[in-house]
């Protein structure tokens, strides 16, 4: 492997958490509200089941093929032809997904903050910064994630200052239409929770020889709590 850096399990969690919630907190609340209405605050909990399953599968694969990424062990599992096809699909999928994220980031900035600035400026700037981080290695990415995620988490607590504007009655009636709408809303979250598969690319660079499933499970719980926090406040503030 070209990458020789090593990170801790805590740094791994700081990498994977913003990777998933960055676009999720912008898109999911409205989709969850359409499906689950006033039960939208429960949908992150229902969807987290997919996250826990993903983490467990990734961890088992790492135990079978330690110090190897999916690109490397695909051929060992499926053979050279099918393994190469799956590896190509994964690379193409993440390239396409990265393009979508860059577009979402650009649209958010140009529509809400700097409305007169050309979109190309923001797209190029975030790609240059990302390229520099990749060139620096996984340790640089991990340290950057620790700083940025900490700032985001602390700033998000400022929403609690609006507690006097919360309307708790919007939570009622709970499960008016049964559990089906909650499960449908949770299924939307599943698309984001499934991104925990990215842990398969990070596990080989942890500074431990023996890795338990616990760090991945904790990361899933943290993500679930953040999604719950966002959905809950969106419902009580906006209806």
Query: How many whole angstroms separate alpha carbon 191 and alpha carbon 180?
Result: 18
pTM, full prediction? 0.87
Question: pLDDT digit string (tens) for 118-174?
Answer: 888 989 998 998 899 888 888 988 998 899 888 888 888 877 777 777 777 777 777
Check residue 23 and give its pLDDT.
79
Rounded to an integer, what distance in angstroms lies between the CA atom of residue 35 and that of residue 41? 11
DSSP 153-166: HHHHGGGGGGGGG-
Q: Contacts by 226-229 with C-beta closer than 8 Å and gap 24+?
A: 226/17, 226/21, 226/25, 227/21, 227/24, 227/25, 227/28, 227/44, 227/47, 227/189, 227/192, 228/41, 228/44, 228/45, 229/156
Q: How far is CA 13 from CA 46, 108, 213, in A?
A: 21, 25, 12
Q: Which of 53, 8, 50 is nearest to 211 (CA)?
A: 8
| Mean predicted confidence (pLDDT) in 174-183 | 80
Q: Which two tokens stand for residue 184?
A: 């449908």
What token pair was written down for 208?
Answer: 């431990």
Confidence band, pLDDT 50/70/90 cuts, at residue 1: very low
**Residue 92 — very low, low, confident or very high, per pLDDT cuts 50/70/90?**
very high
* Interval 36-59: pLDDT, tens: 778 788 888 888 899 999 999 999
- Which residues lie across from 7 on neighbouring strands? 206
What are 70's two structure tokens? 């999916």
Q: What mean pLDDT is reported for the chain?
A: 85
Query: Measured between alpha carbons, how far is 222 from 129 in angstroms, rounded to an integer?
Result: 26
pLDDT value at position 218? 92
Q: How far apart are CA 233 and CA 239, in angstroms?
A: 9
Is residue 239 pLDDT above 80, yes or no? Answer: no
Read off the pLDDT of residues 185-204 as tens digits, 9 standing for 90 and up.
888 888 888 889 999 899 88
Name which of 8, 19, 9, 7 is nearest 193 in CA terms: 19
The pLDDT of residue 3 is 63
pLDDT above 50: residue 75: yes
Q: What is the mean pLDDT of residues 56-68?
A: 89
As given in the structure block, the two tokens for residue 91 are 């690379």
């Amino acid at each position: 492997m070209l990458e020789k850096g090593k990170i801790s399990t805590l740094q791994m969690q700081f990498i994977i958490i913003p990777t998933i919630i960055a676009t999720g907190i912008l898109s999911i609340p409205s989709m969850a509200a359409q499906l689950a209405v006033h039960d939208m605050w429960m949908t992150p909990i229902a969807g987290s089941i997919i996250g826990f399953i993903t983490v467990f599968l990734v961890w088992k694969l790492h135990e079978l093929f330690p110090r190897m990424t999916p690109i490397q062990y695909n051929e060992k599992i499926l053979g050279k032809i099918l393994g190469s096809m799956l590896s190509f699909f994964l690379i193409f999928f993440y390239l396409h997904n990265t393009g979508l994220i860059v577009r979402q980031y650009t649209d958010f900035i140009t529509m809400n903050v700097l409305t007169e600035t050309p979109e190309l400026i923001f797209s190029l700037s975030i790609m240059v910064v990302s390229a520099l981080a990749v060139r620096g290695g996984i340790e640089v990415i991990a340290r950057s994630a620790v700083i940025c995620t900490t700032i985001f988490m602390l700033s998000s607590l400022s929403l609690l200052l609006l507690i006097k504007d919360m309307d708790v009655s919007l939570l009622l009636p709970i499960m008016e239409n049964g559990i089906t709408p909650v499960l449908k809303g949770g299924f939307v979250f599943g698309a984001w929770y499934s991104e925990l598969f990215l842990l398969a690319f990070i596990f080989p660079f942890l500074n431990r020889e023996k890795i338990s499933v616990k760090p991945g499970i904790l990361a899933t719980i943290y993500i679930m709590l953040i999604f719950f926090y966002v959905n809950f406040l969106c419902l009580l503030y906006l209806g």
